[in-house]
């Protein structure tokens, strides 16, 4: 009787764990749908409805901060887009269309915030698990791994940028006001970052291959 009761308790525990896992998967699916809608709306919403979209994104930012997300990433993306976009608008159109340039910067930022929130609030393995519902396993793995790499990319960009500034590269915010220094930014920061990502992607591919990932149509997923 004791063994039977123990088996029954174990079965109920497993059912509870499976039910919790399904609930988390559904929540992840809703998060992905929300991110898709908000990011797409950032480019297709008329200017009159942009304030409403800003409110939704502000709520996402607050939630991300509660989860201890790094808001500095949003600030850096905003500054880079502001410098590059406004510089191009000024060179191409002068001062007459700077307001339109600011709206473009705002739209890019509104498209970026939902993805940032998703990377903060949802584990990459959960995203990969949900994506297997509609995508092949290997594609889902690549997308989930790419989202998981966002914090790593942020650290790499910061470290490469700091090292190049110490070496005397003309990539400081003041130096980048001159468009002639943008090529140095590509050479000193963007190209080394791409090399690091290529090396990391190769390592991840080897690790997945050694674990026979993709051999089965329905792979298992890590449960917290």
The pLDDT of residue 77 is: 80
How far is Cα 222 from Cα 126, in angstroms, rounded to an integer? 8
Which segment, 40-44, 175-179, 204-208, is predicted with the most confidence on average? 40-44
DSSP 94: T
What does the pLDDT look like over 80-104, one tens digit per residue?
A: 888 878 877 777 777 777 888 888 8
Contacts of 223 (CB under 8 A, 6+ apart): 17, 21
Which segment, 73-82, 113-122, 133-142, is predicted with the most confidence on average? 113-122
How far is Cα 103 from Cα 47, in angstroms, rounded to an integer? 8
CA angle, 173 as apex, 169 and 178 as ends, to 5°? 80
Asked if 130 and 221 touch (Cβ cutoff 8 Å), the reply is no
Q: From residue 26, give the alpha-carbon distance in Å to each of 13, 130, 146, 200.
A: 20, 8, 21, 30
Q: Which among 149, 116, 148, 144 is positioned nearest to 131, based on CA atoms?
A: 144
Which segment, 5-14, 43-52, 84-93, 203-212, is predicted with the most confidence on average? 43-52
How far is Cα 103 from Cα 53, in angstroms, rounded to an integer? 13
What does the pLDDT look like over 182-204, one tens digit per residue?
A: 888 888 888 888 888 888 878 88
Question: Which of 46-60, 78-92, 162-176 shows the lowest per-residue confidence on average (mean pLDDT)?
Answer: 78-92
The pLDDT of residue 222 is: 56
Q: How many CA atoms, within 13 angstroms, populate the side-chain half-sphere of residue 12?
A: 6
Using the Cα atoms of residue 174, residue 180, residue 182 and residue 187 in order, give the sign of their dihedral. Answer: negative
Estimate the crossing angle of helix 124-131 against helix 137-148, to 10 degrees. Answer: 160
The pLDDT of residue 196 is: 86
Asked if 127 and 144 touch (Cβ cutoff 8 Å), the reply is yes
- Read off the pTM: 0.66
The pLDDT of residue 185 is: 85
Asked if 159 and 123 touch (Cβ cutoff 8 Å), the reply is no
Q: Which among 111, 104, 109 is positioned nearest to 89, based on CA atoms?
A: 104
The pLDDT of residue 54 is: 92
């Amino acid at each position: 009787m004791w063994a039977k009761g123990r088996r029954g308790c174990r079965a109920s525990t497993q059912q509870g764990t499976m039910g919790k896992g399904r609930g988390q998967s559904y929540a992840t699916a809703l998060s992905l749908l929300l991110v898709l809608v908000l990011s797409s709306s950032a480019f297709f919403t008329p200017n009159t409805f942009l304030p409403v979209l800003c409110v939704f994104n502000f709520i996402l930012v607050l939630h991300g901060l509660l989860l201890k997300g790094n808001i500095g990433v949003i600030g850096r993306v905003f500054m880079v887009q502001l410098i590059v976009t406004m510089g191009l608008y000024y060179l191409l159109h002068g001062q007459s269309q700077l307001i339109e340039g600011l709206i473009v910067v705002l739209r890019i930022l509104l498209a970026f915030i939902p993805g940032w929130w998703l990377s903060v609030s949802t584990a990459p393995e959960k995203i990969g698990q949900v994506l297997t519902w509609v995508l092949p396993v290997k594609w889902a793995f690549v997308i989930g791994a790419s989202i998981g790499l966002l914090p790593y990319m942020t650290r790499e960009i910061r470290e490469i940028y700091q090292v190049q500034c110490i070496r005397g590269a003309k990539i400081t915010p003041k130096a980048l006001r001159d468009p002639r220094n943008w090529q140095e930014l590509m050479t000193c920061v963007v190209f080394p970052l791409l090399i690091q990502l290529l090396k990391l992607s190769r390592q991840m591919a080897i690790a997945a291959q050694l674990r026979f990932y993709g051999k089965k149509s329905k792979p298992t997923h890590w449960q917290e």
